[in-house]
Structure 1
Amino acid sequence: MDINNLKEKQEIKNYKELCKLLDCKVSAGDSKKSQLKELERYVKYHKEGNKFIIDEIYKDIKEKQDNRKNNKGKSADYIDDLQLRLLGEFLTKGKGSNLTIGKSVLLRDTGLVNSNYSYCKKRQEKLATYLDIDKETIYDYYNSVDSMVVNNLERALKNLSNEKIIALDMTTIICKNKLVTLEYKHETYIDEFDEEIERITPVANADIVYEEVTEKEHEIILRVEGELLDQMEVKRVTDLFATGKIKEYYDRCYFEIRKELPDFNFYFKAYKITYNYDRIINKLNEYGYDDWLKDIETQCKYIINEGVQDKIISNARNRKIRKDKEYENVIGGIKPNEKHGCRLNDKYIDKYNNISHNVIDLNAKNIKKNVKQTKITYEQNIKS
């Protein structure tokens, strides 16, 4: 940070111009806050709208303060960055005031997860084999991490909703095959009696369409989901993550739904967001941005992504500590069918790091094709 270009009573147009004078990078969220905190060691300033007014340049640089102890117990240090990233996401959609977007898409677009995450979530046993990690740890990972990242996302969305920047609702989207044309293919062949026979085969041409669920469709989906939970003897869908049966559950749901909705492909939960474009602009101005640059968007995503990875490991360490403490006076080893027994493994944290590197880290390679082509044998399926 170079303050040689600053002088007292100087008026600086905006944050971007300030960074140019200081010869430092335009930042977002918590990085920007740290940057401005660092500036306060050198100068006293105040703001008028987007302007920065330099009141005084200190002769002696103030001592740097360590505020990390005050952050102890904070649920997620990147929520502010996540809100900023969401504002940028809405801004780039333009002035249309409505957006319907799938949960997995928004998790990916904000940098909470990478493009491998949702794909591998549906193929956890294949992922376990591909990474050479026991399936119990993979189940434990998705059961813990999925609830964490979704809670982070929804907390940020609800914060924006509370400020009346957006209105937030949940909906269900169905993917359907919509019939476009029905043609008939005519073929002539000779039968066993040497007679000429014309065979007519119907050929359907369909488009893939995504539509918000109707009341009748919602009733069918809800009934089938409930019946399958009873048949699989679990109370909640989240319980299926712990047993690795989430894919089986949805495969069976789709099969049953198609009996009543023949054009049905699949469905997913989505956020239905109405946003106030002018309030988005005003909120970005509060953050100090009078425009939204691509490099700020990218930087914001990486800040969020690094924060998520740190939080995943921090939470995993706490879970392991609690599990180790539970077993510190137990004689005879792990109980048979012990719930969360994988947390007692000495390599539990290393395994979590490996999984995060593949399904969270934005720098990870695309492993979807490799996971898809992975074959699971009985021996691999029971690997410990």
Structure 2
Amino acid sequence: MRIIDSETVKSVLYPGMEIKNYKELCSLLDEKQKTGEAKQIQLGNWQLYFSYRKQGHKFIIEEIFDIPKEKVDGRAQGNHSLFTKDIADNILRAICSGVAEKTNAGTKWIKIVGLANDNYGARKDIPELRSCDTLKPTLNDFYYYGAGAAVKSYLQSAFNYFEKNNLASVSREYIGISRFNEEELEELEMKYDEESDAVIPLTGQELIELYKEKGYSAIEELKEKYFMSFEEYLFRQPFNEDSADLTIKQYSEEEYLKLKKDVADKYKLDLKTIKGREKLFIGMLCQEKLRTLYEAITVVPNRDNVPSSYCSITKKEYEEYQKTLNHKIYEHLSLMTEKRYEKNYEKWQQSIQEELSHMKLKIGTPKPHMTKAYRDGYLFAESVNLQNRMKVMDALIKI
């Protein structure tokens, strides 16, 4: 739905103004004429900016709103609009008071507003998760529990809210930080060529002996070491975090989306899966010879529509706003995590029982571990137990 500029509305309409018909009102607002349901949505959107009454075909303007009204979302509670205004307010408070810069990576915005703590997005060991045997302490694992994806959706809803209500403009660009300068790239390419030429492939019999002695993992290590592409080789090289030689690439949203599509098509990746998305990200870094690639989101408040009190908030006061929102988010996501676990566990048990019933007719009374449901991953609902899931909530969300 097209966003109307509040100032445009104020410049072309005034209370008591009579407009001949719908066509003329569209022309004044520079809006396309619509029909059916699309027209009803458009009329509802206009009423966020001004009120009117109908007299036959005529529109009579009653009031022009100084600040556009918030669009009411009537969907079931638990959707992405649940915390939208709280998040939007925290972003405006942070920028206007100087607590945060107007440009940040998405993950940093999540931390700034209070949606998660500093562990969120960290590629490092998280002490609180060491006792979770079936978890690796990285952000990607958190997607299994829905919360990682949820907080991103909440943040995006807040950005949409800004533009719909003329509170701020939101722009994006994608920043790629190169791993190496040109001289380093040339040196590494020469080293890669030398190592590749020196490799003597193992014979079939030698591979069999290696498999018997050290297992399949040893063969995989060989493949990784000797048969990787130069891009993969680069991706595995250590880099100096403090190097002054690292360069920055900038991509527009169109360029970034094209890069994603090209890499996904090249490797035939299933982006509906976590593994597919991880491979896509690594593939993009390899192809562009980058060490990291992130989305930089810039929020520029429309200060005419932002409460003046937001500009005088102290850092200590802002921390209270963070904690208040964080508590609401934590309680909601904890409840959703419990419900999701119960649903998955019930589905797993049901699938096993169905297969046991079918198998019983053929082989007597089988054991649960003999079923396809058990083998194919429903066990995840039990092995990653609720206690571990709640530990993840504590480690990554709670401030």
**TM-score bin, normalised by smaller chain:** 0.5 to 0.7
Q: Using the TM superposition, name which of 329-338 and 159-168 deviates more.
A: 329-338
Deviations 1:125-181 (A, max 9, x none): x98983333139986632412210001111122112211111223321122479799
Question: Which structure's residues are more often strand, by fraction?
Answer: 1
**How far is the alpha carbon of 1:217 from its aligned partner?**
6.4
Identify unmatched segments of 5+ residues in structure 2.
Answer: 1-74, 185-242, 357-367
Question: 1:311-330 to 2 correspondence within 5 Å?
Answer: 311-329=332-350, 330=352
Using CA pairs below 8 Å that are at least 6 residues apart, which structure has the higher relative contact order? 1
Query: Equivalent residue for 1:352?
Result: 389
TM-score (norm 1): 0.53
In 1, Cα distance between equivalents of 2:173 and 2:313: 29
Where 2:77 maps in the other structure, the secondary structure is coil
In 1, Cα distance between equivalents of 2:132 and 2:329: 23
**How far is the alpha carbon of 1:246 from its aligned partner?**
5.5
Judging changes above 3 Å, is the alpha-carbon distance between structure 1 residues 166 and 308 closer, same or farther for their aligned structure 2 residues?
same
In 1, Cα distance between equivalents of 2:346 and 2:137: 19
Judging changes above 3 Å, is the alpha-carbon distance between structure 1 residues 246 and 128 closer, same or farther for their aligned structure 2 residues?
farther
Judging changes above 3 Å, is the alpha-carbon distance between structure 1 residues 207 and 294 closer, same or farther for their aligned structure 2 residues?
same
Judging changes above 3 Å, is the alpha-carbon distance between structure 1 residues 350 and 81 closer, same or farther for their aligned structure 2 residues?
same
Judging changes above 3 Å, is the alpha-carbon distance between structure 1 residues 82 and 221 closer, same or farther for their aligned structure 2 residues?
same
Q: CA RMSD in A?
A: 4.1
Question: Which structure's residues are more often helix, by fraction?
Answer: 2
**Aligned partner (choices 277, 281, 299) of residue 320 of structure 2:** 299
Aligned residues: 248
Where 1:311 maps in the other structure, the secondary structure is helix
In 2, Cα distance between equivalents of 1:154 and 1:215: 15
Query: Equivalent residue for 1:270?
Result: 296
**How far is the alpha carbon of 1:210 from its aligned partner?**
4.4
In 2, Cα distance between equivalents of 1:336 and 1:360: 31
**How far is the alpha carbon of 1:219 from its aligned partner?**
7.5
**How far is the alpha carbon of 1:297 from its aligned partner?**
0.8
Judging changes above 3 Å, is the alpha-carbon distance between structure 1 residues 150 and 129 closer, same or farther for their aligned structure 2 residues?
closer
Question: 1:164-203 to 2 correspondence within 5 Å?
Answer: 164-176=166-178
Q: Is the 8 A contact 2:348 2:379 kept in 1?
A: no
Query: Equivalent residue for 2:398?
Result: 361
Query: Equivalent residue for 2:133?
Result: 133
Judging changes above 3 Å, is the alpha-carbon distance between structure 1 residues 130 and 325 closer, same or farther for their aligned structure 2 residues?
closer
Query: Equivalent residue for 1:115?
Result: 118
Q: Is the 8 A contact 2:270 2:277 kept in 1?
A: no
Letter in 1 for 2:285: Y
Deviations 1:21-65 (A, max 9, x none): xxxxxxxxxxxxxxxxxxxxxxxxxxxxxxxxxxxxxxxxxxxxx
In 2, Cα distance between equivalents of 1:321 and 1:278: 48
TM-score (norm 2): 0.51
In 2, Cα distance between equivalents of 1:158 and 1:181: 43
Where 2:298 maps in the other structure, the secondary structure is strand
Query: Equivalent residue for 2:165?
Result: 163
In 2, Cα distance between equivalents of 1:108 and 1:173: 19
**How far is the alpha carbon of 1:340 from its aligned partner?**
5.4
- % of aligned pairs identical? 11
Q: Is the 8 A contact 1:313 1:349 kept in 2?
A: no
Judging changes above 3 Å, is the alpha-carbon distance between structure 1 residues 292 and 127 closer, same or farther for their aligned structure 2 residues?
closer
In 1, Cα distance between equivalents of 2:136 and 2:248: 35
**Aligned partner (choices 270, 274, 289) of residue 235 of structure 1:** 270
Aligned: 1:149 with 2:180: no
Query: Equivalent residue for 1:253?
Result: 284
In 1, Cα distance between equivalents of 2:329 and 2:161: 19
**How far is the alpha carbon of 1:221 from its aligned partner?**
3.2
**How far is the alpha carbon of 1:255 from its aligned partner?**
2.3
**How far is the alpha carbon of 1:105 from its aligned partner?**
0.9
In 2, Cα distance between equivalents of 1:157 and 1:108: 15
Query: Equivalent residue for 2:188?
Result: none
